[in-house]
């Protein structure tokens, strides 16, 4: 369906990360052309202008999900949401851009992996996207390919796994080298922070005890394993003066490490996900195997029920910075690959469609954060860190018209139907829908947020200036989204890094040369000589 050449979003409360204002938003050719009061001419809309009356609603920058794995070949299977279905679901939830991961095998080419993911995504995506690239091994080839990806391919973020031993895991010296190269080329380093060696030993121990079910997954990778790796990654990045981004922060312990490091002046950012902000790991002890297995992800959800509330408080107060989902979905029959051995359960949960409403519920509706902080953690901060701002993450003249009309008082809940209300020039369906596998748009047959009540839903999603989701109906086709290249040296993170290089680099102490006696190798007293001398003194 062809998009009108112009849109006018009228009378809504435009919310950016720093302030809110009631204003009209004029969209032309996919970008915001004007922002202000009374942009509609008194005589009515001119030909070719569609008016969306958003009075009483919020007008937000489209969400940016910093962490997805669409159609990811992993653990003997492939995630069920491909780039088409996954990005459609994202749009239904108010997310207009995803950042996915190209993950090469050990010994494989980073550039080839990047091109493979592009070939999967480009024909299918319904919203804009970009790619992080994983560094799963180290060599001169990897170092050179990182440089090429940054200079020629629009990549500015590289992820290192400290877990998945013998599959993706890199060691400390490899991580040090990768961090050093990230800094040299102006990229941000990302880490999956878990101690892979301890996990491998813990898994053996659990299986030896006869623990084969999903609870074994959490038991072999407790909080301490995540917190230790988080601190180790921050320590290595600090030694290099490289900016660091910790993906999927799942535990209170790891979050405290990040918060302490930020207060100590480290350039580090923490990314909790929708799952860790809203549910917990008690599900691993469910009597229903499939229920427990569908919650298996790494790092695992934590059985401490106070974890989501704790993480949301840190997110609200800037100790944590962005939000993703780690959306990597597998149907029950795929999870059943590990029915007799939890180490073989494909890791991953849903969230790309649910993230915005879940974070609104747990963050804004609960009173922990305001609407501006919501925009910051769901969109703007990600745009700044990954050098998409202000093209993405803001409603301003010249920005991409990725916009969501948001109803802060609507309700998503387990049981119900749909109620309609009429506003001028636009009938919007106010969704009272199930957060449930029965009604969501994700391909997976399970939803970890089943039954969750969420006050706040997207009514209309606009991507690239086109209404793509409205009244529960999609107006989008595969390939409508585009790959968004990202430039290196994002000012938001690299201003401090560059200044520290200029002012904080150690320098030698100027002192007069030492001119005294220097003991030679031959004159040193050996252990044998000292022992012999002691014997002579004892027996004169």
Which is it for the CA torsion 77, 83, 89, 95, positive or negative?
A: positive
173 phi and psi angles, rounded to 5 deg = -65, -35
Find the largest Cα–Cα distance for the chain: 120
Closest CA to 446 of 245, 281, 295: 295
CB atoms within 10 A of CB 21: 14
| Residues 57, 180: Cα–Cα separation, whole Å | 46
CB atoms within 10 A of CB 310: 18
Tens digits of per-residue pLDDT, 233-271?
A: 999 999 999 999 999 999 999 999 999 999 999 999 999
pLDDT of residue 411: 63
Taking 50 as the pLDDT cut, the residues of the chain under it are 1, 413-432
Tens digits of per-residue pLDDT, 322-355?
A: 999 999 999 999 999 999 999 999 999 999 999 9
| Residues 277, 522: Cα–Cα separation, whole Å | 66
R_g over Cα of the chain = 26
pLDDT of residue 539: 54
pLDDT of residue 42: 83
| Residues 104, 431: Cα–Cα separation, whole Å | 40
Closest CA to 425 of 6, 80, 9, 3: 9
Residue ranges of the alpha helices (H) in 402-539?
491-503, 527-538
Closest CA to 458 of 124, 99, 90: 90
Residue ranges of the alpha helices (H) in 428-538?
491-503, 527-538
Tokens of 515: 């001119």
pLDDT of residue 110: 98
Q: Which residues contact 123 (CB under 8 A, 6 or more apart)?
A: 478, 479
Q: Which residues contact 48 (CB under 8 A, 6 or more apart)?
A: 4, 5, 6
Tokens of 388: 């998409």
Closest CA to 465 of 478, 475, 473: 475
| Residues 485, 232: Cα–Cα separation, whole Å | 31
Stated pTM of the model: 0.92
Q: Which residues contact 94 (CB under 8 A, 6 or more apart)?
A: 60, 62, 63, 356, 357, 404, 406, 457, 458, 461
pLDDT of residue 43: 82
């Amino acid at each position: 369906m062809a998009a009108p050449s112009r849109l006018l979003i009228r009378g809504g409360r435009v919310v950016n990360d720093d302030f809110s204002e009631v204003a009209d938003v004029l969209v032309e050719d996919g970008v915001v052309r004007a922002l202000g009061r009374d942009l509609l001419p008194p005589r009515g809309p001119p030909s070719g202008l569609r008016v969306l009356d958003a009075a009483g609603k919020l007008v937000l920058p489209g969400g940016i999900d910093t962490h997805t794995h669409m159609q990811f070949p992993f653990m003997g299977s492939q995630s069920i949401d491909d780039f088409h279905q996954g990005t459609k679901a994202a749009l239904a939830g108010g997310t207009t851009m995803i950042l996915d991961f190209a993950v090469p095998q050990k010994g494989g080419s980073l550039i080839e992996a990047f091109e493979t993911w592009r070939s999967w995504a480009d024909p299918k995506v319904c919203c804009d996207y970009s790619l992080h690239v994983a560094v799963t091994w180290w060599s001169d080839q990897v170092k050179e390919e990182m440089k090429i990806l940054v200079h020629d391919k629009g990549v500015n973020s590289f992820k290192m796994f400290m877990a998945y031993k013998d599959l993706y895991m890199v060691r400390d010296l490899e991580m040090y080298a990768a961090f050093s190269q990230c800094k040299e080329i102006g990229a941000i380093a990302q880490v999956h922070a878990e101690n892979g060696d301890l996990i491998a030993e813990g898994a053996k121990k659990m299986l030896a005890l006869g623990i084969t079910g999903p609870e074994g997954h959490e038991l072999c990778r407790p909080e301490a394993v995540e917190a230790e790796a988080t601190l180790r990654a921050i320590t290595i990045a600090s030694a290099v003066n490289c900016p660091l981004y910790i993906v999927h922060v799942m535990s209170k312990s790891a979050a405290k490490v990040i918060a302490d490091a930020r207060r100590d002046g480290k350039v580090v950012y923490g990314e909790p996900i929708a799952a860790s902000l809203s549910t917990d790991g008690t599900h691993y002890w469910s009597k229903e195997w499939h229920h427990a297995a569908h919650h298996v992800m790494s790092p695992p959800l934590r059985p401490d029920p106070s974890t989501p509330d704790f993480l949301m408080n840190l997110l609200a107060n800037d100790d944590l910075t962005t939000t993703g989902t780690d959306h990597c979905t597998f149907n029950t029959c795929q999870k059943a690959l590990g029915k007799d051995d939890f180490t073989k359960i494909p890791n991953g949960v849903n969230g790309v469609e649910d993230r915005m409403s879940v974070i609104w519920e747990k963050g804004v509706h609960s009173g922990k954060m305001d609407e501006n902080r919501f925009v910051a953690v769901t969109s703007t901060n990600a745009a700044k860190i990954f050098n998409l701002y202000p093209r993405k993450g803001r409603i301003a003249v010249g920005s991409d018209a990725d916009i969501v009309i948001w109803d802060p008082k609507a309700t998503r809940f387990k049981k119900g139907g749909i109620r309609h209300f009429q506003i001028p020039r636009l009938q919007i369906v106010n969704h009272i829908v199930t957060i449930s596998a029965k009604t969501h748009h994700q391909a997976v047959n399970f939803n970890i947020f089943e039954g969750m009540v969420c006050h706040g839903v997207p009514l209309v999603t606009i991507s690239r200036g086109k209404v793509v989701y409205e009244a529960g109906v999609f107006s989008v086709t595969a390939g409508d989204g585009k790959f968004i290249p990202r430039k290196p040296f994002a000012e938001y993170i690299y201003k401090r890094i560059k200044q520290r290089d200029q002012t904080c680099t150690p320098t030698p102490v100027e002192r007069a040369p030492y001119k005294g006696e220097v003991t030679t190798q031959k004159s040193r007293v050996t252990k044998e000589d000292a022992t012999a001398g002691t014997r002579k003194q004892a027996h004169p």
